[in-house]
Amino acid sequence: MARKDNKMPKDQWILLYGFAKQKGRLDWSSDHPPEQVVKQKQGLSKSLKRFFDLDGSPIDDWDKEEQCYRCRFRILPESDENY
**Does residue 16 lie within any of the structural domains?**
yes
Structural domain containing residue 52: 11-70
Considering the domain boundaries, does residue 6 fall inside one? no
Euclidean distance between CA atoms 32 and 43, whole angstroms: 18
Of the CA atoms within 13 Å of residue 37, those in its CB half-sphere come to 15
Tell me if 2 is assigned to some domain.
no
pLDDT tens for the chain, 83 residues: list them.
Answer: 556 676 666 788 889 999 999 999 999 877 778 888 999 999 999 999 999 999 999 999 999 999 999 999 999 988 888 76
Q: How many domains would you assign to the chain? A: 1
pLDDT at residue number 80: 83
Q: Is 22 helix (H, G, I), strand (E, B) or coil?
A: coil
Specify if 32 maps to a domain: yes
In a domain, 82, yes or no: no
Is 1 within a domain?
A: no
